[in-house]
Amino acid sequence: MENSNKRTVLITGATGGLGTAMCKELYKDGYTVVGNYHTKEKAEKWMEQMKSEGFNIELFYGDVSDYESTGKMIAEIEAKYGHIDTLVNNAGITRDGRLINMKPEDWHVVINTNLNSVFNCTRQVIQGMIDRNFGRIINISSVNGQRGQFGQTNYSAAKAGMHGFTKSLAMEVAKYGITVNTISPGYIGTDMVMAVPEKVLNQIVAQVPMGRLGGTHEVAHLVSFLASEATSFVTGANYSINGGQHVY
């Protein structure tokens, strides 16, 4: 077992833009960080890149949309690192399109990857957290789960569902020293967002009162804040981080 004196954090969807920033931030803050991946070739390149930058972060395979696959991944992590203290449910995909044109598979794959994954992962770490009287569950939702978005009935439903999950679970496990919170980012400068045509990107930025995209490091800082022991009275909350684009 490695680094048994540190809190262990599992971040799903670790190789994406937000996931990578979270891994780095939490590692720098002294946590033992492990990540989840779905594509082997990308994972190998990612781990090489992290090591070259001085981050010793191991990735474990798991299809978080599948309960059994998720269970095997968590068992592997626990066998090597002892237990998972903090879970960041970050994995997510989009399959955009108006509902009138949406194929059933585009509905189901988004719900399975973005929402059912939250159950699949959390269900299999929560008992250990209860036994140890400590845990942090952090669910990465979206501004579009709060306000809706044209062409994203599947994505918005999944992201709104994440916070419903957060609120109810927060009540169930509060007495065990476990907090459950949601983060709802607006438009963040990930590779995926930066790849859109410049005209579209300018239209997006024009909607943000702050006049810019958010930084992945800014979301990662908020994750680290909620993972800390100092935030033990914060639970069931939804943290908006969107530059003023959606306020309520």
Instruction: Please report which confidence band the pLDDT of residue 172 belongs to, taking 50, 70 and 90 as the band edges.
Output: very high
Burial of 61 by CB count in 10 Å (0-12 exposed, 13-18 middle, 19+ buried)?
A: middle
Contact indicator for 23, 8 with CB cutoff of 8 Å: no
In this structure, how many other beta carbons lie within 10 angstroms of the beta carbon of residue 216?
23
The predicted model scores a pTM of 0.95
What is the spatial distance between Cα 189 and Cα 194, in angstroms, rounded to a whole number?
6
Residues labelled catalytic: 155
- Per-residue exposure over 173-201, b if at least 16 CB sit within 10 Å of its own CB, e if not: beeeebbbbbbbbbbbbbeebeeeeeeeb
Instruction: Please report which confidence band the pLDDT of residue 6 belongs to, taking 50, 70 and 90 as the band edges.
Output: confident
Contact indicator for 61, 38 with CB cutoff of 8 Å: yes
Q: How many residues make up the chain in this entry?
A: 248
What is the spatial distance between Cα 22 and Cα 14, in angstroms, rounded to a whole number?
8
Beta bridge partners of 137: 87, 180
Task: Name which of 240, 241, 239, 245 is nearest 204 in CA terms.
Answer: 245
Average pLDDT for the chain: 94
**Mean per-residue pLDDT for 5-29?**
94
What is the spatial distance between Cα 243 and Cα 196, in angstroms, rounded to a whole number?
20
Q: For tokens 């994954």, name the residue.
A: 117
Q: What's the pLDDT score for residue 152?
A: 92
Assign 68 to helix, strand or coil. helix
| Residue 48 amino acid letter | E
Instruction: Please report which confidence band the pLDDT of residue 3 belongs to, taking 50, 70 and 90 as the band edges.
Output: very low
| Structural domains of the chain in order of their starting residue, each with its CATH number | 8-240 (3.40.50.720)
**Mean per-residue pLDDT for 118-132?**
98
Instruction: Please report which confidence band the pLDDT of residue 4 belongs to, taking 50, 70 and 90 as the band edges.
Output: very low
**pLDDT at residue 5 is higher than 80:** no
pLDDT above 90: percentage of residues in the chain: 88
Q: Please spell the DSSP secondary structure of 42-56, one letter per residue.
A: HHHHHHHHHHHTT--
**pLDDT at residue 160 is higher than 70:** yes
Q: Supply 96's token pair.
A: 């955009």
